[in-house]
Chains A and B, each alone.
Chain A
Amino acid sequence: DTGVSQDPRHKITKRGQNVTFRCDPISEHNRLYWYRQTLGQGPEFLTYFQNEAQLEKSRLLSDRFSAERPKGSFSTLEIQRTEQGDSAMYLCASSLGQPLMNTEAFFGQGTRLTVV
């Protein structure tokens, strides 16, 4: 397994357009996370999945954002009607989750979104 894979690596879009990102986690990992990272800041939690169930969404995730993880494998993050403030690095991570215990989260290389 080559780790967490994200596609595309870079995306430039015009304001108002919709974009979709894909994340392929490490195959045996049951948990998948999306984080957003802006320049000079640490990653900020957006949402996470336990298998196919989306269990928590941050208030950072406005109604324009939607994430899915069909069949508990890959995940997609869609942003509708993009705004310039959506420009950021979107990071996906996965882990082999255990109840009541943090385990290592492995991050992908991210998708850098630029909204012009």
Chain B
Amino acid sequence: GENVEQHPSTLSVQEGDSAVIKCTYSDSASNYFPWYKQELGKGPQLIIDIRSNVGEKKDQRIAVTLNKTAKHFSLHITETQPEDSAVYFCAASFNDYKLSFGAGTTVTVRA
């Protein structure tokens, strides 16, 4: 099955700086890569996703890049704000229903 590794496990950034989270996956058949944000006491919420036919996708302050050859993808958050503090999960899927998640990155934005 698919194995997703995520780094770093914790990330502390100054407000206004950028945050980068990196993930690698094992199954070359994976073709869908979503990123979820989970706040305390809540379920994961999709913030951006990318499919294997695209190398980069951007939505306001959030961007995701995908390198299929190297089997890694990254989340970039620019101009971080206190409300960006949360746990972020990457995931990968090689079929149309099952997501394999990374272990998560706890992001803390310092005011």
Contacts and interface: CB of A to CB of B under 8 A. Distances in A.
Contact of A102 (B41, B97, B101): B97
Contacts, number: 61
Contacts of A108: 43
B46 A43 contact: no
Interface string B44-83: 1110010100000000000000000000000000000000
Nearest to A102: B32
Nearest to B41: A109
Contacts of A91: 43-44
Nearest to A59: B1
A69 to B, nearest CB: 14
A98 B62 CA distance: 26
A97 B96 contact: yes
A60 B107 CA distance: 29
Given A41-B104, A43-B44, A109-B41, A31 B97 contact: yes
A43 B89 contact: yes
A99 B93 CA distance: 14
Interface residues of B, number: 26
Interface in A65-116: 91, 93, 97-102, 104-110
A41 B100 CA distance: 11
A55 B96 CA distance: 12
Contacts of A107: 36, 43-45
B96 A100 contact: yes
B99 interface: yes
A41 B101 CA distance: 9
Contacts of B31: 102
A107 B36 CA distance: 10
Interface of B: 4, 6, 31-32, 34, 36, 41-46, 49, 51, 89, 91, 93, 96-104
11 contacts: A40-B104, A42-B4, A42-B89, A42-B101, A45-B98, A48-B97, A91-B44, A97-B97, A100-B96, A102-B97, A107-B44
Interface of A: 4, 31, 33, 40-45, 48, 55-56, 91, 93, 97-102, 104-110
